[in-house]
């Protein structure tokens, strides 16, 4: 699936979530990275698949995810993921990898805590 189609599917999903679930007003949004089990094959030139995901803990629904570039880390994928989320009034938690000044500033700029 081309990247532009993935972005459109994710945006449609987020629109549906935001219309059907209240994800603001103090909702805890947890941002975390995970490596997909079985995504590495020995002998293959393909690397492992690592994703950064956003999870709304009270409504228990995934809000989105971004693939981490093979030659990068979560620090570059987190801002991309945050950009598509409505963080107004939400509390965002991130592990140590995401504790970067630019990421904190982005959360505040999007009216999250």
> pLDDT tens, 17-68?
777 666 666 789 999 998 887 766 676 666 788 889 999 988 888 888 888 8
Query: Domain residues for 30?
Result: 3-109
Q: At what angle do helices 74-83 and 101-109 cross, to 10 degrees?
A: 0
Q: How many domains are contained in the chain? A: 1
Q: What is the dihedral of CA 113, 49, 8, 53, to 10 degrees?
A: -20
**What's the confidence (pLDDT) of residue 52?**
93
Instruction: Output the average pLDDT for the chain.
Output: 83
Q: Running DSSP on this structure, what letter comes out for residue 15?
A: H
Q: Report the C-alpha gap between 53 and 98 in whole angstroms.
A: 12
CB 49 within 8 A of CB 39: yes
């Amino acid at each position: 699936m081309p990247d532009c189609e993935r972005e459109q599917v994710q945006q449609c999903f987020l629109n549906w979530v935001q219309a059907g679930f209240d994800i603001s007003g103090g909702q805890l949004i947890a941002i975390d990275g995970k490596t997909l089990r079985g995504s590495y094959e020995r002998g293959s030139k393909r690397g492992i698949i690592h994703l950064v995901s956003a999870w709304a803990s009270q409504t228990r629904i995934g809000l989105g995810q971004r693939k981490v570039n093979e030659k990068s880390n979560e620090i570059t994928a987190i801002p991309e993921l945050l950009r598509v989320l409505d963080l107004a009034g939400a509390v965002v938690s991130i592990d140590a990898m995401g504790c970067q000044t630019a990421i904190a500033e982005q959360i505040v700029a999007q009216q999250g805590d």
